[in-house]
Structure 1
């Protein structure tokens, strides 16, 4: 939705560019340029500017140029290494600091924890089938679920593994699911491909439109030959934090996990193809060792102060205060407060109506997805009505 002109006209002490706003870089060049034009006041503002991108390997060159052009003061990267590759210009001009894909909500610490022995699910997992342009790292997120489910069923374990949108759980339902799982399966978040301007993503989408049943290997050969695996951009995911705090022992594809948890000490490592599942199964059988491991994992997560929402918010406010003291933004607190009140009063009902429509469209889309002809007809009608 369009930003009201009376907001853009204000002088601010700080402007935060969140992950949703920054996804504009991969939607399409027309949309991206329109977004930058609409929010050009941010570029021209003397306010402190802080950015929280994710999936930085997607259109990283566009993101890098954007951060430089808008003179962003600090970028919080969720990737713990390779900043010179992800931000070839900005890493020389700006300030890059480590951020995370999720943070600890203090209310989670008060949530009742079910004893290990009373949990009905042996291994729990949910994952989407990511497009091939996330590389093997993205592909592994769903293939490891498929492979573990097959072997775990053979071993007689009680498994609740679903792959795809149909198994999505949100809010308390998701936390209850983890709390009912003795073991939570997981994999690295991230990508093993670097796509500077989105060319790989566009090529993959075009190829899959023509060959929707193509395998990963076929897509790789057609769209990004010899490019897979040159890089490994990974980050710890919110799932790892939630499982640790709810004392669900974790079986994770071996990886960096932002340097916070380590294989053997905090989780059972599993190979991407689950070929060492017999070793995983043996480790799972030692209940006392698993309870000690979950305790160590929980302690490791809680020991990172920067992972807590409250600490992160305080740190950001301190950072803004420090940087703002060196600038002259000309912000008028009383005027800004009135603008915020006006914005909430005018825009909140519009946003609620927008998301109600969006929810309805998605519900209809899911309902008609099994009927391709009807699905395509509705999509065509929607494009015409726009």
Structure 2
């Protein structure tokens, strides 16, 4: 291996701009923290496979956006050309995020492209059921949906008492095919807005994809808010065969929509759930988190780093009231910042170096 190895990062981006902050970080953090040269290729546009062969990378990292190319014939063709052009000796790492959609096609792509290491946000208890051992010629490593970059880690944040917004939140109108998890993401914002209105507090909440915030705008909102509500990312449905929509409009929804027979409706204890990037961002800005109780990828601990509420949201008002308790709220956000952010355990610097050491050893 060369003294300064070369990494090729494949991504697929033809969508909204600017990118959401965490998505931009997930793709481009490798340039800052990888111990070598990093080159990026957007496979969403025409490219010459010969260029990849000439680059001769030691590591090929397939971002989640590149793996979504499997949903279309043209996109899958681009991903295949890129991976076929990479040298056989290159280590191949893939990091999907949508592990509940088109699951079998994802498995097929991972095998076909000869992935060596899969970075998965799934709970380890689900690994064998989602990626059966007989279909798994790759290693697995737990991977968060996002990490903390140096700039966010250094961000100064004022005391909670100085913040003008009582509670903030953003969500989109989740389609029926996300199941109960999707409905919960919207309901938690509506209940927070009702709480603020009843108490005479200021809220900045949008739950229908309105007032979208990208880049640093979301971080600025968090830093101006005493509290933020939320729930784990994930889905209550698993689609092994690819019948649910990906980029197309969602199916006719609402309470009357029934998933196709091939779609598996999960019980709460088996749902696919993971900590969202916004939970780390709230910890970094010392914003009091009122969250539906859950595992949060083993990072956030209920009652220690966030104020938990029951899944039926029956106690959300009492939890939000605690955000107005200066001693309780400030102690919780300071503890979350110290243990999660300042410790560096969940930083891009740490995880990129660990992955590079693992695959290039």
TM-score, normalised with respect to structure 2: 0.79
Count of matched residue pairs? 312
Q: How far does residue 169 in structure 1 lie from its aligned partner after superposition?
A: 1.3
Matched, 1:318 2:361: no
- Matching of residues 266-281 of structure 1 within 5 Å: 266-281=305-320
Q: How far does residue 222 in structure 1 lie from its aligned partner after superposition?
A: 5.4
> Quick one: structure 1 residues 288 and 306, their matched pair in 2 at CA, closer, same or farther if it must change by over 3 Å?
closer
> Quick one: structure 1 residues 125 and 40, their matched pair in 2 at CA, closer, same or farther if it must change by over 3 Å?
closer
Q: Which runs of 5+ in 1 are unaligned?
A: 209-213, 323-386
More strand per residue: 1 or 2?
2
More helix per residue: 1 or 2?
1
- Matching of residues 283-322 of structure 1 within 5 Å: 283-302=322-341, 305-322=344-361
Which residue number corresponds to residue 106 of structure 1? 150
The whole-number CA distance in structure 1 between the counterparts of 2:189 and 2:226 is 16
Q: Is the Cα contact below 8 Å between 1:64 and 1:89 reproduced in 2? A: no
The whole-number CA distance in structure 1 between the counterparts of 2:208 and 2:81 is 35
Moved more, 185-194 or 128-137: 128-137
- Matching of residues 87-166 of structure 1 within 5 Å: 87-89=131-133, 92-166=136-210
Which residue number corresponds to residue 128 of structure 2? 84
The whole-number CA distance in structure 1 between the counterparts of 2:277 and 2:334 is 18
Matched, 1:24 2:62: no
Which residue number corresponds to residue 70 of structure 1? 113
> Quick one: structure 1 residues 245 and 236, their matched pair in 2 at CA, closer, same or farther if it must change by over 3 Å?
same
Q: Is the Cα contact below 8 Å between 2:283 and 2:341 reproduced in 1? A: no
1:228 corresponds, among 256, 261, 265, to 265
TM-score, normalised with respect to structure 1: 0.74
Q: How large is the RMSD of aligned CA atoms in angstroms?
A: 2.4
The whole-number CA distance in structure 1 between the counterparts of 2:188 and 2:65 is 28
Q: Is the Cα contact below 8 Å between 2:238 and 2:266 reproduced in 1? A: no
Residue-by-residue CA offset, 1:133-170 (whole Å, 9 max, x unaligned): 22211221112111221233122221110123331112
